[in-house]
Amino acid sequence: MNIGESGQIVRILEFGWSQKFPAEMALIYVESLRSLPFKPVKSAVEAMLRTEEFRPSVAAICRSATNVPNPANAVLSARRWLEYQEQLQFANGSGWVPVRPEVHTLVIEACAGLSVGMFGWENRFKAVYENRVDLLMTSSMELEK
């Protein structure tokens, strides 16, 4: 995203929520979002404009623009994925195949070594998942530099 497009996003964020952006905050948003493509970021911000009461954080915009599920939704996806994995074990050789749920790759990676019956699996999943999302966002920003 170029400087002009970044400025457009900042103007939408400022006027969409009727809150003045201090110059330092605008600069943080511009620098943080500039590694992402313009159209997905603009679509994410416009969608949030219709649904969110308060201005979204940079992280929320990044998640929405890259279609990375937020941690609460990721836990639900993780439960579906782990239940699917359990069903696969029971179906082994029977001819019945469970329907594979649509789950983001990061959720599948964060589920490694977990099972729904495991005590505290949700907390373990959240910790691994949030770390992977942070790494994804950091590496995508560094690739653009």
Contact between 47 and 79 (Cβ < 8 Å): no
Tens of pLDDT along 43-100?
889 888 888 888 999 988 988 887 878 888 889 999 999 999 988 888 877 778 888 8
- 143 — pLDDT class (breaks 50, 70, 90): very low
Is pLDDT at 34 greater than 80 in this prediction?
yes
Q: What angle do CA 35, 41, 46 make, to 5 degrees?
A: 160
What is residue 78's predicted lDDT score, i.e. its pLDDT? Answer: 92
Q: Which amino acid is at 111?
A: C
Q: DSSP letters along 34-70, please?
A: TTS-HHHHHHHHHHHHHH-SSPPPHHHHHHHHTTPPP
Give the dihedral of Cα atoms 130, 132, 135, 137; nearest 10 deg: -70
Is pLDDT at 113 greater than 80 in this prediction?
yes
